[in-house]
Amino acid sequence: MSERKYRQRGYQDEPRDKQPRPPKRAPEPRAPGRPLQDASGPRTPNLMASHEVFRCARCGNRLSTDVALDTRCARCGVDVHSCINCVSFDTSARWQCTQTGLPERVAPKDERNACTFFSARTTVERQTGTATATDQHSARRAFDELFK
């Protein structure tokens, strides 16, 4: 009996590597591609508009980015000028703040404080709302005026 496991023609008849493989070359640096699209610039037809919003960390209520020291959320009543609404708040950082030079730990994180590093945590959201009835009527009126 043959030492080969399979007896089909072509299987292990000749060595696979007839010639040594050439060494792999490093990929050539490509020219810089198309720059990323700016969020405030022109949009492609299928891209939804986006806007920057500030939401309460507790209830998600939409708030103004101008935060005074004594501002409270209208829905849940939590103080807005607090660590949980700050852009520097990070639970994995020392004293749960990414800012260096913090003199001491601020506790509790959801109560008002006078931290000088406070900056409202904003996020960019897509505008997914539907058009109002007045916008639809004005668009229809503009379309009808094209063919008068």
The string of pLDDT tens digits covering residues 62-83 is: 888 888 888 888 888 888 888 8
- Per-residue pLDDT at 17: 59
Q: Are 96 and 89 in contact (CB under 8 A)?
A: yes
Which tens digit of pLDDT belongs to each residue from 18-38? Answer: 667 778 888 777 666 666 666
pLDDT score for 107: 82
Q: Looking at the predicted structure, is the pLDDT value of residue 133 above 60?
A: no
* Three-state secondary structure readout of 29-84: CCCCCCCCCCCCCCCCCCCCCEEEEEECCCCCCEECCCCCCCCECCCCCCECCCHH
Tokens linked to 31: 């020219």
- For the chain, what are the domain ranges? 49-124
| pLDDT at residue 131, rounded to an integer | 55
